[in-house]
Each structure stands twice: as structure tokens, then as C-alpha cells.
Chain A
């Protein structure tokens, strides 16, 4: 099989994931898009490993690492999203902006934002 097929597939997967990360509003979908990007990388690793005929198969070994790390990452990520949803009743990335710099230090004054209100009631 020519190298171009897996490479193009990997690019398509990565771009889809990138679009999802940048454009989706739901945090779970963003996490899923991250998984897509990771898998695009995995695909590349395996494809190039085969193409280069690496005797140690370091590409495949690295892929296993990536999968393990991705599993851990998605576990923690989903837990965080779950907690955020429980606290705020929403997992919209757009509305989770407590870390924004407000002009004139308004955050220090304690002017209540919608999100922080939700946090306070939780």
C-alpha cells in the first residue's frame, strides 16, 4: 500500500479533529475531536514505521504509549467535564470563561457573573 493513503487519511482525521476542537461548543465533543487528532497521529506513526521498516518498531511502540495516554487523558477530561456540568448545569465551552481578564479588575470586585453564581449555588 502506498504511503499516500494513510497519510491523506491522517490529514483528514487531524483536520476534522482540529475543526471540532476550534468550532464545537460542547466540551464532550471537543474531547472527542482531540481523540480524533490523537488517532491521526497514531495512524501516521504506524504508517511511517512500516514504510521505514524500522527493526525496533519504535513507531508502533510509541503508538501504544499514545493510546494509553489518550485513555488516561479522556478519563480525566470526561471527569472534569462531568464535574463542571454538575456545578454549572452546562458544559458549553463558550460560557466557561472565568479566567477572562476583565477591564479595571472587575473580577476582583466580585461583581457576580452568571457562571460564578451557578458555582455558588452548587
Chain B
């Protein structure tokens, strides 16, 4: 097979798998699992083949005219360079892991067939976005991902939280997509093509007419998709979806699409210094704000969600200083360890029977119950906190190094202000990241109190005498698969530059020492605080677990999400005095727990005016428009009642009236004819 055929098959296979799954899922339950896993697995294998075939060499471009539009044509184009090939491998591997994990996680779920098909469709859309060379085709994949995300976040639609979260995710990302669409049109109008290669060539040769406007319009879409301030609020709420969905969509792939698009179109953004500064500021606000918010969350998945927002901020920051190699490197590393963290969180939630960190901190022995999750999640948290030698260290140092490079003015065409903004906020975020990673680890695994509930025993024909298999084997096996890149991806740092722009990604000494030092300080401070507060935990019993320990993983999580608000008072935070985050943040904690009131601001700015407008429209409809409609009915009825009185039933009366009428008409006709009456 040529490289092109292979690359075409990559998005096609999961798509066909999704179609087949949707068509056959209900009728032939036996085929659902193979149909879910095998196409994705094959696509993952093909992405590796594409990456090997591409081999970091020059980009492969193939195109066929999809449709003549009269002005700017739309092409079915493939553009495979080092970025696309490597990100596709990440998407393929994570999607395969998630599909395999889901077979265990949602094994008793009645809606598993449609769920698996949607995940496949989502994977196909993401791979299309990665491989395509045409912005219009990219937009198709982009929107398909949006709608799949809507359906998958709302998978537990019986719970109010999930319904609200899926709507919110859809609306907020659409809010960004509208400017994104306009940005694509403006870009095509300026350059005369939708092809990415053509656009980039045109930017280099002639420049753009409106670089800042286009960059900011595109940036709005990216902020929506990649959950950057101020459109990030959907991502923490989207944790109401099943854990594998969070891992796939909200950590490794869909949110990465926005970063990927900016990386692809970086020369467009770099054409405008203002856009770069705006990007840097957005990234800085996102990073620091999400780090603070993550410290205050009680739901383990919400901590990870805010962490995702922050890491995406790192990537956007790297792009703002013009180093897309560093951004994509961090994207790859983050995709691996964040998928691992989410899938591990799914195991933890299942084992603990709750998603509340406050409850877990009053539970001892959780780490002994789930040793696989304990070790892999520990390493992934170290990678998240950028502790050497794990993957996160290398990628984050690449970002910080690029920022330092720009701050010292060594980068051509990048404003120093952007460099300083990213560097300072990046270092601050490294501190916060280490702090919330340490807090999560301490609360989840080092809790003290009653023993963690027994894991369900009766899963896959456990016989007496054998070691009980407490959790589906696939769930733990997948963790170890993702463990490999989490540990080892950093070693690829010397190899990657030839796949990317050729700029070195090796950590520089200054940023490495400073960054690691700050991270260690953050972790140690959190540990000290935890030692201080943990005594309080015994005095405040809060660890109510309401989930049936025998429940299947998916059901356990659904129950945990649904009961979090009634048990702990809020979806996001818990009133737990033993939380080290509470002590660390001080008075900020209250605001950080609710995401710095951004939802309240949105509510005041958008929701309430829209509600008021809806009330007004209802009033206009009911009281004004309907009055006319009712009047149109009432007037003829009165008229009819009046005319009805003439209907006496006496034929002679009718005839008399007829005669009188004819006479009047005849006289009128005669008068008109003779001209005397006119």
C-alpha cells in the first residue's frame, strides 16, 4: 500500500466501524465489541505505518477536487508531515486504549453499542482533522467531533448534571466555532484557497491583508475547542461524562485539535504580533487560573479537567512564542499521561465508590486494593508535575525553553512581552501543577480512616482458591500500555526535531533547574500542609460513600456523579477542613472552587438576558400576536351570528330578498348603462 492509501484508510476504518456499529449494534450484540475495537486498532496500526513511511521527511501532499464551488474550490486533500503523522499515532493509540478500556468499563451498559460507535466516529473525525490538508474538510471533522462530544458527555443523560454539561459543552464550543468559520472564510478570501499549503505559501510570499483580524477569529474557535479562557468553562463540567470519554475527548484528542490547528497555521498567527500577545495572555490566564481552580476541586475528575485546561494553556503558550515543535511535543506527552490519569481515575472511582477526594482521604488502603492504578497514576502525576525523567518534564521544559528563548529576544518576529508572559506564568503554573498533583495523590492514596470498600468479586467467573479479579483485566492492562509513553516519551526528545521544525527540544539547564525546583517546592509545600491538616480529617467525618460496591464501573461512576452534589453540597467542591488546598489557597479557595465565578458572569451576561428576552417574546406572542389571531376568529363569528338571524326558513322571505336584490341590481345596471347614475 502506498502512503496515501494507508493514510486514507486511517480515518475511514473507524468511520465504517461506527456506521456498522450503529446499524448492527442492537440486533447483533456479539459483534459490538469487535466492531468497536478492531477498526480503531487497525487504524492505530496504520497510523504507525504512516508515521514510519513518512519518517520525518518532507510533507506528503495529495489532493482531489471535491467540488467546484464557483469561487474557492474545496479539495479532499491529505497533508502528512511530521506533526500530522505523530499526532495521528497518539490519537490512534489513545482511542484504541479507550475502546478496550470501555469494553470493561461499560460492559453492562445498555447503551454501549451506540457509545462505542460514537467513540469510533469521534476517532475518525479527529484523524480526519489531523490528516486533512483543506480547511473546509478540517471543519467537517471539527464539527463532527463537537457533536460526538455532545452525545458522549450526555451519555448518562438520566442525571441532570450530564444533561446540563452536554448542552453547555455544545453551546460554548459552538460559540467559538462561529468566529472560527468566519476566520476560515476571511483567510480563504485573503489567500484565495482553502488548502493549508496554499495558505501558508501565500502568507510567506504576499502576506495577509488582515492578519490580526483573521488570527483573532481563528483564536476564538481554538479557545472554544481547546478550552482556553474565557471559553474553558465547558471542560470541567464535561466530566459528567463517562471516564473513558473524558480520557479520549477531554484530555488527549479533541481539545488537542485546537492546538493542532494553530500549530498547522502558525505562520498565519505569527504574521500578527498582536495576535501572539493575545495568545500569550490567554494562555497565561488559563494556566494560572486553572492551576488555582484545580487546587480547590473535590471531584477527582474535575481536578484532572482543570489540569488539562492548564496543560493546554502551556501548549498555547508555546505557540504564542512561535515554537510549534515544543507545543506538539507537549501535546503528545500530555496526551499519553493525561489519558493514563483519566483512565486511572476511572479505576479509582470504581474502587473507592466515590469521586470525591474528601471521601477518599478518609479511606485507607485504597492503594493496596488497586496496585496497578496506584503505580501508573503515581508516575503519571510525576510526569504531570514535570519531574524528571518522565515525559512531562521534557515536553514542559521544551515549552519553557522556547518561552525563555523568546523572552530574551532571541526568537525572530516574536514579541518579547509574549515570551515573558508565557515564561512567568509557566513557572507559576509549574508550582501550582506540582501542588495539585501532590494534593490529588495524597488525598486519593494516602487517606486514613476506615478500610476502602471491598471490590466486587463476582466478575469474570472467579472460582474459589483463585485470586479474585476485582476489576476487568482490560482496564488495568490499558493503564500499563499508556504507562510506557508516559515514562519513555521524554527520551525521544533528541529524535523529534527532525519530525518538526528542526528546532532542538532538549531541555536547557536554566529552565530545567528552575522549573524542577519550583515543582519540587510546590509538592513539598503541599505535603507539609497535608501533614498539618490531616489531623483535622479524623474530626470531620465526611466520607459518605453511597455507591453500591458491587456496581459495574460505569454505573458506579454515574451514581457517584449524581450523588456528589447532594452528599457534599456542590458539584465542584466539598466543605472539608482537612483539605490541604483549602489552607494553601486561603481566602481564594471559595472562589477557586467555583472556577472564579466565571459561570456566574456568563449567567449574568448571557443566560439572564436571553431568559428575559424569551419572557418578552412569550408576552408578545401570547398577548399581542394571539390577540389578533383570536380577533380574526371572533369577528366572523359575530358576523355569522348576525347573518344567521336572517335565515328564517321561510322560502318566500328568501325569494322576496332575492327579488329586491335583483331589482336593485337591474336598476343600477340600467342607470350605469344610460350614464345617468355615474
Contacts and interface: CB of A to CB of B under 8 A. Distances in A.
Interface of A: 18, 21-23, 93-94, 96-101, 103
Interface stretch (B189-197, B485-493, B641-649): B641-649
Contact of A98 (B645, B649, B659): B649
B656 interface: yes
A104 B28 CA distance: 64
A99 B647 contact: yes
A101 B650 contact: no
B9 to A, nearest CB: 73
Given A18-B659, A22-B656, A22-B659, A101 B644 contact: yes
B241 to A, nearest CB: 60
Contacts of A93: 650-652
A23 B656 CA distance: 10
A100 B648 contact: yes
B655 interface: yes
A22 B648 CA distance: 15
Interface string B615-653: 000000000000000000000000000001101111110
Contacts of B645: 101, 103
7 contacts: A21-B655, A22-B655, A93-B650, A96-B649, A99-B647, A99-B649, A100-B650
B661 to A, nearest CB: 14
A100 B647 contact: yes
Contact of A97 (B644, B650, B655, B656): B650
Given A21-B652, A23-B652, 9 more contacts: A22-B656, A94-B650, A94-B652, A98-B649, A99-B647, A100-B648, A100-B649, A100-B650, A103-B645
Nearest to B640: A101
**For chain B, what secondary structure do more than half of its interface residues adopt (helix, strand, loop), or is it mixed?**
helix
Contacts of A94: 650, 652
A97 B650 CA distance: 6
Contacts of B650: 93-94, 97, 100
Q: Which 6 pairs between the two chains have the least Cβ-Cβ distance?
A: A97-B649, A100-B649, A101-B647, A101-B644, A99-B649, A100-B648
Contacts of A23: 652
B659 A97 contact: no
Given A18-B659, A22-B659, A97 B648 contact: yes
A22 B653 CA distance: 8
B658 to A, nearest CB: 10
- Which of A18, A21, A101 has its CB near the most chain B CB atoms (within 10 A)? A101
A84 B647 CA distance: 21
Nearest to B644: A101
Interface in B7-43: none
Contacts of A101: 644-645, 647, 649
Contact of A103 (B644, B652, B656, B659): B644
B647 to A, nearest CB: 4
A99 B656 CA distance: 17
Interface residues of B, number: 11
A95 B655 CA distance: 16
A94 B651 CA distance: 8
A21 B647 CA distance: 19
Interface of B: 644-645, 647-652, 655-656, 659
A75 B651 CA distance: 20
A31 to B, nearest CB: 12
A96 B649 CA distance: 7
Contacts of A99: 647, 649
A23 B653 CA distance: 10
Contacts of B644: 101, 103
A99 B644 CA distance: 11
Nearest to A113: B649
A93 B647 CA distance: 15
A22 B659 CA distance: 10
A18 B652 CA distance: 11
Nearest to B646: A101
Nearest to B647: A101
Nearest to A98: B649
Nearest to A18: B659
- Which of B644, B649, B650, B656 has its CB near the most chain A CB atoms (within 10 A)? B649
A22 B652 contact: yes
A114 to B, nearest CB: 13
- Which of A22, A23, A96 has its CB near the most chain B CB atoms (within 10 A)? A22
A73 to B, nearest CB: 16
- Which of B645, B647, B652, B659 has its CB near the most chain A CB atoms (within 10 A)? B652
Contacts of B647: 99-101
A21 B656 CA distance: 9
Contacts of B659: 18, 22
A97 B647 CA distance: 10
A66 B184 CA distance: 83
A9 to B, nearest CB: 21
A23 B651 CA distance: 11
Contacts of A96: 649, 651
Contacts of B648: 97, 100
A80 B534 CA distance: 108
B216 to A, nearest CB: 69
A67 to B, nearest CB: 23
Contacts of A21: 652, 655
A35 B649 CA distance: 23
A94 B649 CA distance: 9
A18 B656 CA distance: 9
Contacts of A100: 647-650
A96 B645 CA distance: 17
Contacts of A98: 649
A85 B645 CA distance: 28
Nearest to B641: A103
A22 B655 CA distance: 7
B419 to A, nearest CB: 87
A28 to B, nearest CB: 14
A98 to B, nearest CB: 7
A98 B652 CA distance: 14
Contacts of A103: 644-645
Nearest to A115: B649
A99 B654 CA distance: 12
Contacts of B655: 21-22
A103 B652 CA distance: 20
Nearest to A105: B644
Contacts of B656: 22
B360 to A, nearest CB: 74
B657 to A, nearest CB: 10
A96 B651 CA distance: 8
A23 to B, nearest CB: 8
A32 B649 CA distance: 21
A38 to B, nearest CB: 15
A99 B655 CA distance: 15
A4 B644 CA distance: 44
A93 B644 CA distance: 20
A14 to B, nearest CB: 11
A107 B645 CA distance: 14
